[in-house]
Structure 1
Amino acid sequence: MLAVQRGFACKEVQTFTLRKADLKKPIGECLESPNFAVPNSGGLKWSIDVYPTGETDECKGYISVFINVNKPVKSKCRCTVNGSSIEGSFAYEFSYSDPPLNFGWEKFASHKSLYSFFHMNKLTFTCIIELNIATPRDVLVPHGFQFYRHVPPDFEFVIGSEQVPAHKNFLLLISPVLKAMLSDDTAESKPSKIHITEFTLEAVKCAIDFCYGRELGDLSIKTAVSVLRFCDQYFMAAVAEELGKLSLFDLTIDSFCEIARYAHECHKKDLLDECCYFFKGHHGDIKAKPEFVDLPPILVVDVLKKAFDLKTEFDVLDHAHRNGISFVVDYLEESLVEAISLDNFCPAVRYAWKCSRDSLKNACAQFLINNREEVTDSKDFLDLSADVVRSILKVAHEMKRKIV
Structure 2
Amino acid sequence: MSPAASVSSSAIVADAASGYHHLKIEGYSSLTALPNGQRVSSCHFTIGGHRWRIDCYPNGNGQDSAGHVSIFLFLDEDVAAGKGQGHASAAVITGRTQLLWQGMPRFAKWEALEQSRHLRHDSFNIRCDVTFVNGYKVRNAEKPAPDAVLVPPSNLKHLGDLLHTGKGADVVFEVGDETFAAHRRVLAARSPVFSAELFGAMKESSTNDLVRIHGMEAQVFKAMLCFVYTDSLPEMKKEEEGAMYQHLLVAADTYNLERLKLICEDKLCKYIDVCTVANILALAEAHHCNVLKNACFGFLGRKANLMAVMASDGFEHLNASYPSVVKELSAMHSLT
Normalising by structure 2, we get a TM-score of: 0.49
Which has the greater radius of gyration? 1
Give 1 or 2: higher strand fraction.
2
Give 1 or 2: higher helix fraction.
1
Which of the pair has the greater relative contact order for Cα pairs under 8 Å at 6+ separation? 2
